[in-house]
Chains A and B, each alone.
Chain A
Amino acid sequence: MNNFLIHAIKLTRHYRVGKTEVAALSDVDLIVRRGGFTALVGPSGSGKSTLLNLIGGLDRPSRGEVSVDGLSVGAATEQQLARYRRERVGFIFQSFNLIPTFSALENVESPMMLAEVPKRERRVRAASLLESVGLAQRTQHKPNELSGGEKQRVAIARALANRPLLLLADEPTGNLDSKTGAAVLELLCQLLKAQGLTLIMVTHDPEIAARADHIIHLRDGAIQKIEATRKTEAPP
């Protein structure tokens, strides 16, 4: 439990599409340690997004189990999952997924609103988070007034709002040009080191994957191999 943040045992997810059953993920066993950057790579349909969603509690496994920081995500109740997503996980999506009627500041505040954080504290923290991602000048802007890179930064600030342990990013640079994408990636890596977070990112860009500590290759719903890119201890 100590060093392991995520422990998946025979994790399986299938969908019924019409009459056929599609196995998005089959019997995945996985351990991810605390801290560090893990990339999930693989062709489309390999199950990487499914794995991410299962870890994040947005989806439930059909069979098997995944536990994160001691919480058995598959077996948790709706309320427990909501709390888990609120307090322990931060999501970053390819299409940013900001709330269009909220300003940048309010978007960053939104997880704190759900966590019943009092207004003043919320405002202060949101402002400082936006500052740390370089958007102190843009707090009152609505999403449609921000560029792609700026939106993703807001999303990152939001993901950090409730001090999560785990950041889950699904192709975060997919909708950004290479320069902006690189800047966003840089930001993420910095925050990672500064706050001791664990980051799991789905990507199909090998350059991005190369910056991870570990790369998990998926194909057809199963793990092909796990690479360690740095001189960190090899995972089991």
Chain B
Amino acid sequence: MNPLDYLRTLLRQFLLTAMIALRALRRNKLRSSLTALGIIIGVASVVAMVALGNGAQARIESQISALGQNLLTIFAGSRRAGGVNSGLGSASALTLEDADAIRREVPDVVAVSPEDTTSAQAIANGRNWSTTIAGEAPEYLEITDWKLADGSMFTARDVRSAAKVAIIGSETAHELFGPLNPVGQTVRVKNMPFVIIGLLESKGTGMGGMNQDDRIIVPFTTAMRLLTGDKYLRSVSVQISGADRMDAAEQQITSLLRQRHRLTAGRDNDFSIFNQKQIADTVSSVTTIITLLLGAIGGISLLVGGIGIMNIMLVSVTERTREIGIRIAVGAQPADILLQFLIEAITLSLLGGTIGVLLGVGASQLVGRLTSFVPIVSTGSILLAFGVSCAVGVFFGFYPARKAALLNPIDALRYE
């Protein structure tokens, strides 16, 4: 027989066996469905949980990168003393000279923005709104990768002259001006008029629930001289040339500042550095672990589903002992019997796998709608779930199928 005929015969026999297997499954639909249910739940939970885990991870990563690219922020005061607004007035001081030194002497630094941030009432258009007033340098927009929706950023000359100009965030603009275009309007902060020369694009909620769009940005010199009276900077935002240089740059800035602040070995830093990359990495590894754990839990329920299949197949084999005996008497090979029961098991698991994938995708979409996560269903997890459910069918179906194939026909025929 030529190979093509052989293949055709093989296929025909396979299809025939499959038909017999499917008929057996249809005979007891309820039982087949309940058995497949274990796999359905297992696969659905793997797909859904991994999708949600991926979605959460992506969400957090985008929040972090929305802060800017390769951002290091140096805060005055050590971490133990608290965050930005601790204002202990200790000798821990970040000066403009420090900022300049960082810009000059640290090779991986691309841009530097000295900062002096406070909060205050902004009054305009007959309304008032308590908001963050951030004193920054013109480089700030570049460092935080933030674009203007309208107008323009203040310049170095504005910084030098401590001009009373401001860029307004979209949320603050909405609160004060409603639908009106704020550019060209005046806003009073601490009783001083500021001309709004630009409107920031919306950035949304950043890390820690901080609304980045609720702020007014002014030249840092203006902030220090006219609004806060600070002699020193509260923070400096620095952009580094590349993600791979972040840790090295952090080291360099640390030793530069320690030197400038004459901190001898053994004394703590009188500043603290927020390394965006480190935080992103930590978050990423945590969410990865969580996603894997969730996936593993789904995997366990898949395993339980497999055991369910094996259980039911064993019962099925026992119930059909007589029928198996008949087939052997009529001339079936052990391989035919094995194949038949194996196909039954695999059909159950593949069917369960398909429904499970659909259910998992649907469930993750539903949860996504109810919470604010956008679930990301990875093709990888779907293929994995499919592959595993197929393997489960083969693995857990094999033992019962083998048992059927090895039945002694005479005993089988006598079975009641």
Contacts and interface: CB of A to CB of B under 8 A. Distances in A.
A7 interface: no
Interface string A98-124: 111100000000110111101000000
Nearest to B405: A78
Nearest to B23: A101
A12 to B, nearest CB: 16
Interface in A61-95: 78-79, 82-87, 91, 93
A86 B410 contact: no
Given A97-B413, A99-B323, A113-B16, A85 B9 contact: no
A158 interface: yes
B4 interface: no
Interface of A: 53, 56, 58-59, 78-79, 82-87, 91, 93, 97-101, 110-111, 113-116, 118, 158, 162
Interface stretch (B291-299, B310-318, B330-338, B373-381): B330-338
B204 interface: no
A115 B336 CA distance: 11
Contact of B333 (A78, A110, A162): A78
| Minimum-distance CB pairs A-B, first 4 | A86-B331, A82-B333, A85-B331, A97-B326
Interface centre among B13, B24, B325, B327 (most CB of A within 10 A): B327
Interface in B393-416: 409-410, 413
Interface residues of B, number: 23
Given A97-B322, A97-B326, A78 B331 contact: no
Interface string B105-116: 000000000000
A154 to B, nearest CB: 12
A114 B336 contact: yes
A79 B333 contact: yes
Contacts of A79: 333
Nearest to B413: A97
A58 B409 contact: yes
Contact of B330 (A59, A78, A85): A85
B286 interface: no
A86 B330 contact: yes
Interface in B10-32: 12-13, 16, 23-24, 27
